Amino acid sequence: MLNVRARGPIGIIVNPLVNLLARTGLTPNALTIAGAVGTVAGAALIARGQLFWGVITTTVFVLFDMLDGRLARAQGTSGPWGALLDSTLDRLSDAVIFAALVIWFGRRSPHEEPWIAALALFCLLAGALVSYVKARAEGLGLSCNVGFAERAERLIIVLVGTGLAGLGVRYILAAALWFLAAASVITIGQRLAAVRRQVVALEPR
């Protein structure tokens, strides 16, 4: 839901940048790919234990996701291929961030809370299900705009938690992942329930 609420304030900040990019000839797809490549690079830093700088790098390139769609509209080049590429690379970006945490905590001593790696893996899988349920419902012509743990919220929670952990704040990443795991499960349930209600309403009586 943050995407909808923040759209106006964010637009005030990014629209001038989008207008500038539109005049450079940079394509939205190139921006999408650059964002994904940069996110992978940031995740690689996280996987090596450089949590803070990995988050800084990842955040910069995740912000490209705010620009590619706006740039496509500004250039009049919006289309199904760009939308598919954007959604596909969004899933990749989400996955590599959590995979980096799995790798980092999996490599550490078994006495240093290895369960965090398992928790990060659960968040990766749950986040994928959150996105899948919505995409599948919309593919069936149903609405599924419910739940707290959408992509923007998931990224904010995991990146803030990881960045603060990189600065030495104890337990913050574990707390962030526990919260995100619970929020993702609740969101999946909310979305399945919302779709079920619509299906029941459409059934002949």
* pLDDT tens digits in sequence order for the chain, 205 residues long: 544 454 445 555 667 777 777 677 778 888 889 999 999 999 999 999 999 999 999 999 888 777 877 787 777 777 888 888 888 998 999 999 999 999 998 887 555 567 888 999 999 999 999 999 999 999 899 988 888 888 888 999 999 999 999 999 988 999 999 999 999 999 999 999 999 999 988 877 6
Domain residue limits, the chain = 2-202
pLDDT for position 39: 94
H runs (alpha helix) in 109-150: 115-139
Burial of 67 (0-12, 13-18, 19+ CB in 10 A): buried
What is the residue type of 184?
S
Which region, left, alpha or beta, applies to residue 143 given φ > 0 means left and ψ of -120 to 50 means alpha? beta
| 160, HSE (Cβ side, Cα atoms, 13 Å) | 10
Residue keyed to tokens 């490209």: 64
Report d(CA 33, CA 64) in Å as an integer.
Answer: 9
Query: How would CATH label the architecture of 2-202?
Result: Up-down Bundle (1.20)
pLDDT for position 11: 55
| Integer CA distances (angstroms), 5 to 10, 59, 109, 127, 152, in order | 9, 20, 42, 21, 11
Of the residues 68, 86, 90, 94, which is catalytic?
A: 90
pLDDT for position 125: 94
Report d(CA 169, CA 165) in Å as an integer.
Answer: 5
- CA nearest 52: which of 154, 129, 159? 159
Annotated catalytic, 68? no
